[in-house]
A = this chain, B = another copy of it.
């Protein structure tokens, strides 16, 4: 069994740099800053399949707890109330969830609805004075994302984006290999993000609800991954779209986009976003002194990876359990994650995705605004 101690010994990192593991300790060892209750009390908004996965994962959280739901479907609310023993007073509809403002038993709302609804819902939750955790992509474009960041700031609540990979141990081990210099200077990142999508009638293939196609849903993993694997912000993008099935993938819903990014150091990224291929989900990072391959790199199941030094050895965890405990640490105890998950982190990805869609349209390289000053 890999204990926290042996893991830390193996990866030669300090406990302080491993907040994602802090949930294995009593939370109050980690901070003296918690002014609210010791456990983050979360309501989930949108009770689709991913919400089910998050709720199940939260059953083993030590610092976060599912306490309520927001849904448009009364039968789902009934089902969840029974399954998770939720009090009636913590269950809301889309019509009345502003009333959450007066509910002291809820600290944060995790929005897991279609992308096109995130902005409006985030604004409403912020106005109700609750912290927002918003699933990725945080919005359908940078304009909305900016609005969300501003609204949460104005309301004095925090906005976090559901970047579960930012807390995944092998991902952090890979990042640690880079930051410790063991790869030398990073030169090249390759990200393959995609799967063959099924049901043509799902909201993910509806422009109004999804804001786009594969890029919004799965390509964003390579956009975001390029940034945390290289440890830099891109300065330009280029992109090429391919559509083989215009009936399934309608106007504005991208099936396959190849895209490239350039970084200030001269490092480059080459990525694929697709809804029409399986056996992808691979990250590769090449540096002057070594390299890392992760495959699968962002799926829900165990992440696997190897570097020029050997296999990555950080423990297998349930991503959403670790994510929610870590987010409790951020929201309640002012902890800082190794890779940010705040609204500005999400905004950067939305700015890049806007530029990618522009590059597809114009078939030209698109310069990015300075992302480091956001």
Which residues of A approach B to under 8 Å, CB–CB?
A: 187-188, 190, 192, 238, 240, 242-244, 256, 258, 260, 262, 265-266, 268, 270, 272, 274, 276-280, 286, 290-291, 308, 363-365
Contacts and interface: CB of A to CB of B under 8 A. Distances in A.
Contact of A363 (B187, B280, B308, B364): B364
Nearest to A243: B266
Contacts of A268: 240, 242, 256, 258
Each complex incorporates copies of this chain amounting to 2
Contacts of A243: 266
Contact of A262 (B192, B242, B260, B262): B242
A309 to B, nearest CB: 13
Nearest to A238: B240
Contacts of A286: 277-280
Contacts of A276: 187
Given A188-B272, A238-B240, 10 more contacts: A188-B277, A240-B260, A240-B262, A242-B266, A270-B270, A277-B286, A278-B286, A279-B291, A363-B364, A364-B364
Contacts of A291: 279
Contacts of A280: 286
Nearest to A364: B363
A244 B187 CA distance: 10
Contacts of A192: 190
A278 B183 CA distance: 12
Contacts of A266: 242-244
Nearest to A236: B240
Nearest to A295: B293
Given A242-B268, A266-B242, A266-B244, A258 B256 contact: no
Contacts of A242: 262, 266, 268
